[in-house]
A and B are shown apart, each in its own frame.
Chain A
């Protein structure tokens, strides 16, 4: 059973890392989680991002968070990437698979996957 004792062990392990975490987070990934996003499949996209950010060892650098309706419901699930000093990147019609690719190629590799981004002609 996943006991509280096990949770205690996680706490002891994480305590030192917390301080480290607070000073970091130069990349922010935001998933739209309003009715439109949720209905279009945002939940598995968010979970894939959280999972893959951890798998790729980016936990200290990337923060994955949730937001409300971004205003482009027809393109949901929408994922926005914010990075200091760079223009915001908006990924549209995301899936869990595409999300994993974004973590690997963009968040880790630094290359924006333009196939999945919102284009001006779409608006």
Chain B
């Protein structure tokens, strides 16, 4: 683990990173899978007449924002596992912290995500803490915002993660 945060890493705090378009278009299959996983019978996601009447057409559950940006586990030509939330994995590597967990998550929702949308996102490292000793190990907390827009440039939400990157305690 690095005892001092490199200046090159500090310089990236607050800068938009990793602009990307979602690999998948917003589609019904994942919406149904998500609702089924938590037995969510909200008719907005199941009943076309209700969704037409209330939200002007089928939409995705707001909390699915991050789902549209997780990469396929494998794709042709890839030589290693693709990782989501790239800034998080960048920080693990740059700060030499092999383990990490997400401790806090804040979501804010703008325009609804609609069937057929192809979303765009970028990531912003908001902060990196001093070294902390925790029950899991020694490491640092960091906050990363993922900002989402739709294909029309409308704001659809922000997913803000607080993570702990750490080296496990001995024993």
On whether the two chains bind one another, the answer is no
- Interfacial residues, chain B to chain A (CB-CB below 8 A): none
